[in-house]
Amino acid sequence: MHAEMTSQELFEQLSNGGKLNLIDVREPDEWEEGHIKEARSIPLSQFQARAHEVHDVEGDVVFICRSGARSGRVCEFLTLQGFDVANVVGGMLAWPGEVVTGP
């Protein structure tokens, strides 16, 4: 079972300077509509081809999507492979902070 955190907990960790490797698995059009500035985009549709990029950044690996469903599936997949990852339940729908738009 993978770890979970709420959008509020993510916001608090980022606000306090927490070192997180935050990966947004939403598709490019969703990303451009608004994303967390500390996040990186690895769309679910490209995930298998780009999975090697997950550990390119230091910090605890945390996945987010619109609601937490797609990122939860990624977390389940990686947890079965032995990786320690966390899912943001509630996703961007519950994100209390600012978002950045564009690519």
Q: Which amino acids are annotated catalytic?
A: 65
Separation of alpha carbons 51 and 4, rounded Å? 20
Provide the token pair at 34.
């608004």
Distances (CA, A) of 84 to 33, 87, 98, 102: 29, 11, 27, 30
